[in-house]
Amino acid sequence: MNLLSGMVHGLEAGVKSDPAMRSYQTALLRALNVLTDANARQEVLKVDLHKATKVIDGELAAVQPMIANFISYLESKFGKRSAELQAYGIMPRRKGSQRPQEEGQAPQAAVAPVVL
């Protein structure tokens, strides 16, 4: 918009010396006015968007502990892997992979190969 504004400003002086520029001035001035109005409306909407986002974020933060407590309650009632949890929109937990270990042996950490 700055470029367009500069062009319109320059055309104000140029129209006096070159009448052929009048059509450019009219078209560019109309476009600048439309863009300026749209930009002003957009700024107002941005403020409303930020306000709505703050409300959403605040409400989500407030309800998060309640959701966690409800999930905990359902898991204690039905079990963490129960299919009944799906009725409440919660996926049952999957069983993790179990690697057999010899008795009395600590789990081994993965060692990356040394590259020279």
Rounded to whole angstroms, how far apart are CA atoms 112 and 10?
67
Residue 104 inside a domain? The answer is no
* Domain extent at residue 63: 2-88
58: region left, alpha or beta (phi > 0 left; psi from -120 to 50 alpha): alpha
Residue 7 inside a domain? The answer is yes
Residue 99 inside a domain? The answer is no
Q: Report the domain count for the chain.
A: 1
pTM of the predicted protein model: 0.51
Residue 30 inside a domain? The answer is yes
Give pLDDT, residue 101.
66
Give pLDDT, residue 15.
73
Tell me how many degrees the CA angle 52-54-55 measures, rounded to the nearest 5.
65
Give pLDDT, residue 63.
96
Q: Render each residue's pLDDT in the chain as its tens digit; 116 residues.
A: 788 888 888 888 777 777 778 888 888 899 999 999 999 999 999 999 999 999 999 999 999 999 999 999 999 999 999 999 999 999 988 887 777 766 666 666 666 666 66
User: Count of residues for the chain?
Assistant: 116
Q: How many CB atoms lie within 10 A of CB 85?
A: 19
Residue 109 inside a domain? The answer is no
Q: Tokens at residue 89, please?
A: 């929109």
Residue 115 inside a domain? The answer is no
Give pLDDT, residue 107.
63
Tell me how many degrees the CA angle 61-62-68 measures, rounded to the nearest 5.
85
